[in-house]
Homo-oligomer: A and B are copies of this chain.
Amino acid sequence: MIQLFHVSKWYQKDVPALQDTNLHVPKGDFVFITGPSGAGKSTLLKLIFAEERPTNGQILVHGRNIARLPTSRIPTLRREIGVVFQDFKLLPNRNVFENVALALEVLGMPRRDISRRVWLILKRLGMHHKMRANPLTLSGGEQQRVAIARALVNEPLILIADEPTGSLDHDASDRIMEVFTDVNARGTTVIVATHNMGMVSSMGRRVVHLDSGRIVQGETL
């Protein structure tokens, strides 16, 4: 369960990236965050996994108050959340397998289990044949699928995906959405930021529309 109460984020003095935002995402929900470029979608997502701290307001994630969470408790929070970063954030000096495995290594999982699970998720995303490749040698869409694999591999309670299909063609995007629907059906709360309105409408899920740092549609407290 994720709740935002009157959350604002000012990176600079002049304009807020997010302003007085209220949002409630119940456990097991599937929400799309839409809005034009610079609307504050990524900022909203970053606040949930504490990459950024809110300037004002309170954020509750599974009962924890993120605004006041001590730095030492952040890793525990992040291990419950799988994140697909808009810029992928793959480690350039590790291969695909190692990049995905990282999300399990930080949990202290035995190496044998790691191998199996990494292989399964890569297979599911059609990236198992590139397991030993360096991310720098992958095509844009391939990198994006590795980023998705890393977010999903530890079966997180919450999946946060920032523009997860921006580098993927229509068919591949559909397949990703199927995977997301599937993990959602198993109980994972899913929050996807995207510009792809076609995809959003075809999915028929809840939509929160942002503009200039304000929720203009779908706001709930």
Contacts and interface: CB of A to CB of B under 8 A. Distances in A.
A9 to B, nearest CB: 12
A26 interface: no
A156 B142 CA distance: 30
Contact of A195 (B86, B137, B167, B195): B167
A108 B142 CA distance: 38
A36 B139 CA distance: 11
Contacts of A37: 139-142, 144-145, 167-169, 172
A167 B168 contact: no
A154 interface: no
A169 B195 contact: yes
B169 A166 contact: no
A140 B167 contact: no
Contacts of A198: 198
Contacts of A87: 87, 140
Given A166-B166, A198-B198, A140 B171 contact: no
Interface string A66-77: 000000000000
A1 B169 CA distance: 29
Contact of A42 (B42, B86, B139, B172): B139
A169 B87 CA distance: 16
Most buried by B among A37, A168, A169, A198: A37
A162 B197 CA distance: 21
Nearest to A171: B36
A162 B167 CA distance: 10
Interface in A172-191: 172
For the complex of A and B, the 8 pairs showing the least CB-CB separation, nearest first, are A37-B141, A169-B195, A166-B166, A86-B140, A38-B139, A36-B169, A37-B172, A166-B167
Given A86-B140, A140-B162, 20 more contacts: A11-B137, A34-B169, A36-B172, A37-B139, A37-B141, A37-B142, A37-B145, A37-B172, A38-B141, A38-B142, A42-B139, A42-B140, A87-B140, A140-B163, A140-B166, A163-B166, A166-B166, A168-B195, A169-B195, A169-B197
